[in-house]
Amino acid sequence: MTTPRITLLITLTGRDRPGVTSRLFAVLAAHPLSVLDIEQVVIRGRLVLGVLLGCDAPPDLTGIHAAVTALAADLGLEAEITTGSGDLAARGGRLHVTLLGSPLTPPAITAIAGRIAAGGANIDRIGRLARHPVTCIEMDVSGADPALLREDLARAAAEQGVDVAVQRGGLHRRAMRLIVMDVDSTLIRDEVIDLLAARAGCEQEVAKVTAAAMRGELGFAASLRERVGLLAGLDAAVLDDVRAGLRLTAGARTLIATLAGLGFRSGIVSGGFVQVIGPLAAGLGIDYVAANELEIAVGKLTGRLRGPMMDRAAKAEALRRFAADSGVPLSQTVAVGDGANDLDMIAAAGLGVAFNAKPGVRDAADTSLSVPYLDAILYLLGISSEDAAAAGP
């Protein structure tokens, strides 16, 4: 029977100064120890340095304690040493819990941390990814069932008015290589067909058809054809005017530029119209576009579409097509949307994100965001605001 591994957790706290880490490991080098984990945080000049060490044979605890205590006294720090035993891997795989709020309050953190503890899991590490305009912290959690923890934390987050995401630990998120987004009310703050309807003088009629579709009285295809039919006779030059007035969602440029700098490909899929969003995508450096095409004859909209309709199934198929062209497996894709038309692609992607979405979409997605900043998606991928600033143009 093998001897259980003995672990030592050494924690140094106090005012930060140069050389603390190197001097601590110089002291530890005199003992047969292996480094299992290390974390160092400095907040306003205050240092917290934690080192987890392992040893297969009983260590010289007296000697280690004396050496570390003497070093701490010399550096003006406080030292704490605790011992344990057993294989840390037995706690189960790590999970990343990402918590976002604007603001992020102590009661929210209390609620999330309390649910984690109540489920028998442990928070091994906490770090900050962003603090303005959204505060985001990330926790490494061990010993939890992912599905149960996701469900439990979702309830706590809803009660506290914050967003929470639970994802598999390790390098999984860093392997993501393609992001595909819906356009209306996701990439942009507008609904393109409503803008066109306003120019055509049929805004109220289009709104009635949209409301009927929302009540389930019309399917997506029928409602889209009816709304497009109301645009018949509109001068095609209006498409350029509408495109020029589109309002990007806050953080959209940062998200796209940052991910491009990190080697991501990007795509948009839309029930809107390629004549409007195609040039927008080109200006943003987006690699792939799939959208409906308005039929135009003699400089006027005919009220019909050309080619296949970009519906719910077509959006998911576009995601698969973009992934295949990029040489990226679906497990390394991110899909972002807000409506029922996005459900299939959200389900197909490696990470499905509901962005300011309807309740049914939030429930179906891997995670949801209710903050009005699209670049908050970066934090779900473990990319901090500092990383984004370094990767951007």
Q: Which residues are catalytic?
A: 182, 184
The whole-chain average pLDDT of the chain stands at 90
Is residue 41 over pLDDT 90? no
Lowest mean pLDDT among 40-44, 76-80, 165-169, 177-181: 40-44
What number is the average pLDDT over the span 184-207?
95
Domain at 6-86, CATH homologous superfamily = ACT domain (3.30.70.260)
Topology adopted by domain 178-391:
Rossmann fold (3.40.50)
**Higher pLDDT pick, 250 / 44:** 250
96 phi and psi, to 5 degrees? -100, 125
323 near 259, Cβ under 8 Å? no
Is residue 87 over pLDDT 70? no
Domain boundaries, given as residue ranges, for the chain = 6-86, 92-170, 178-391
Place of tokens 């965001």: 369
223 near 210, Cβ under 8 Å? yes
* CA angle 247–252–257, rounded 5-degree value: 135
Three-state DSSP state, 220: helix
pLDDT of residue 337: 96
pLDDT of residue 90: 44
Instruction: Give percent above pLDDT 70 in the chain.
Output: 95
Between CA 158 and CA 154 the distance in angstroms is: 6
pLDDT band at 201 (very low <50, low <70, confident <90, very high): very high
Model confidence pLDDT, tens digit, residues 137-147: 999 898 888 88
Residues contacting 176, CB < 8 A, separation 6+: 264, 332, 333, 334, 350, 351, 381
What number is the average pLDDT over the span 36-40?
82
Secondary structure letter of residue 356 according to DSSP: S
Place of tokens 């050496």: 67
Question: Environment class of residue 381 by beta-carbon count within 10 Å: exposed (0-12), middle (13-18) or buried (19+)?
Answer: buried
What number is the average pLDDT over the span 185-208?
95
pLDDT of residue 172: 67
Is residue 209 over pLDDT 60? yes
Is residue 255 over pLDDT 60? yes
pLDDT of residue 88: 47
What number is the average pLDDT over the span 167-174?
74
What number is the average pLDDT over the span 15-36?
90
**344: region left, alpha or beta (phi > 0 left; psi from -120 to 50 alpha):** alpha
Model confidence pLDDT, tens digit, residues 306-346: 999 999 999 999 999 999 999 999 999 999 999 889 999 99
DSSP run (H or E) holding 388:
helix 385-391
Residues contacting 18, CB < 8 A, separation 6+: none
Is residue 3 over pLDDT 50? no
Residues 16-53, buried b or exposed e (16+ Cβ, 10 A)?
beeebeeebeebbeeeebeeeeeeeeeeeeebebbbbb
pLDDT of residue 1: 38
Is residue 164 over pLDDT 70? yes
Between CA 89 and CA 103 the distance in angstroms is: 35
Between CA 98 and CA 110 the distance in angstroms is: 14
pLDDT band at 187 (very low <50, low <70, confident <90, very high): very high
Equal fold, 92-170 vs 178-391:
no
305 near 293, Cβ under 8 Å? yes
Q: Which CATH class is domain 92-170?
A: alpha beta
What number is the average pLDDT over the span 82-98?
68
Model confidence pLDDT, tens digit, residues 58-86: 778 889 999 999 999 999 999 988 887 65
Is residue 171 over pLDDT 70? no
pLDDT of residue 210: 87
